[in-house]
Each structure stands twice: as C-alpha cells, then as structure tokens.
Amino acid sequence: MRYNVVKNASSILDTSDILIKNPENYKGKWKEVFKNNNPICLELGMGRGAFIVQMAKAHPNINYIGLELDRSQTATAISNVKGKIDNLKFICADAKDIVNYFNKEIKTIYLTFSEPWPKKGDEKKRFTHENYLRVYDRVFRKQKHIILKTDNKILFQSALESMSNYWYVFKKVSLDLHNDERNIENYMTDFEKQYYKEHRQIYYVEAVFDE
C-alpha cells in the first residue's frame, strides 16, 4: 500500500484539537487530558488511524491514543475523525520516545501491521525487539499487555520469540485471524482492509506479563 503525501499536513496538525502537540508536558498526567481515570491504550504506528478510531467509538469508557511518526499519515488520521470523540487523542512522534510521554499509565499497546524490517541488522527497529519491550516496561501500568496483528510471518515469529524470551505469556494466538472461529474482537486497520480483500492470512497475538 502506498503512503499518501498530504500537502497541507502542517496546517492540519497545527489546528487540530485531537493532536497533542507537546506530549512530554503530559507525562504522568494523561488523566488530565482525558478528564477521567479510565484506562489508556496506545497504538504505535497508527497510520491513517482506522483501527484506533473504531476502537475509541466502540469503547467509550477506555481512552485511546494513536501515535504515528509520519506527518502526512497523522494529518490523514485527523481528517478521518468525523465529529467529536472525547476518548481519542493522537501524537505525531517516534515510538522510541514514548518514555518521554508516559509514566506507568498505559494499559495496552497495540502493534498493528508494523514495519517488518526484514533485512539482517534491522531487527532492532522492530517494535517487539527487546529494546522496545524494555521501553514498554516504563510506560505500562502494573500489567503489561500487548496486542499485535501482522500479515508478515517472519515478523510474527520474531515477535513471539522476543516476547516469550521476555517472559510474556500468550493469552490468545491466531494464525488466521479473519477465519478464526473464536470470537476475537477485531476492527480492521487500513492496511488490514486491503489484505482482507486479498485473502491474506493475518497473524494475531495477545501477550501479557503480570508482575
């Protein structure tokens, strides 16, 4: 799938209420942003935001934050939000910096169709590399909870290995999410919608770690 370039991305970002412009100012204070004590879930690499928008609408008593590095993707996600969704915010930033934005405040991290980084030597860039799992330790509340979806078998295998080496336990695993007979809640991301049309196999894992 191609990434779109949004020419007026800067003005969309600058004038958006849903985008938190200085997320470092809210470290440890996100309940002030949402004006409630509800749990907060974070999607890393939300792209155009289809997944997190649907999740926020489906679960009004949970707060959602979509984080995306690319300004055009973030601008598109902002434009895709129709009406006011009080339990949804966006951050335009690099996932590797989330320790600057959160302090033991996150309930669940969603990793949706993250870049697979297949080349040798690029493993450290994967969102489930041990270095990232260490970062997540600092933003999760007591329980660590990761939900990952991907169409990439190599990424999936490496994610399972990495999380398992890090003592995560797998609560739910599916090797074919769209044809799974169990009732796994699923809202499709933008990439996933395309893969669904192509009948591509989607891998899913819900991983937890309790102190």
Q: Which of 9, 12, 40, 46 binds ligand SAM (CB under 6 A)?
A: 46
Q: What is the nearest approach in angstroms of ligand SAM to the Cβ of residue 112?
A: 4
Q: Does 191 bind ligand SAM (CB under 6 A)?
A: yes
Q: Does 150 bind ligand SAM (CB under 6 A)?
A: no
Q: Does 45 bind ligand SAM (CB under 6 A)?
A: yes
Tokens matching residue 174 = 């599916």
The tally of CA atoms less than 13 A away on the side-chain side of residue 2 is 3
Q: Does 47 bind ligand SAM (CB under 6 A)?
A: yes
* Identity of the residue, 32 or 94, whose beta carbon is nearer to ligand SAM in the bound complex: 94
Burial class (CB in 10 A: 0-12, 13-18, 19+), 141: middle
Burial class (CB in 10 A: 0-12, 13-18, 19+), 75: buried
* Tally of CB atoms within 10 A around 44: 23
Site for ligand SAM in 82-141 (CB under 6 A): 94-96, 112-115
* Tally of CB atoms within 10 A around 45: 19
Binding-residue total with ligand SAM (CB under 6 A) = 20
Contact string 62-81 vs ligand SAM (x = CB under 6 A):
-----xxxx--x--------
Whether the CB-CB separation of 145 and 210 falls below 8 Å is answered with no
Q: What is the nearest approach in angstroms of ligand SAM to the Cβ of residue 72?
A: 9
What residue ranges bind ligand SAM (CB under 6 A)? 44-47, 67-70, 73, 94-96, 112-115, 189-192
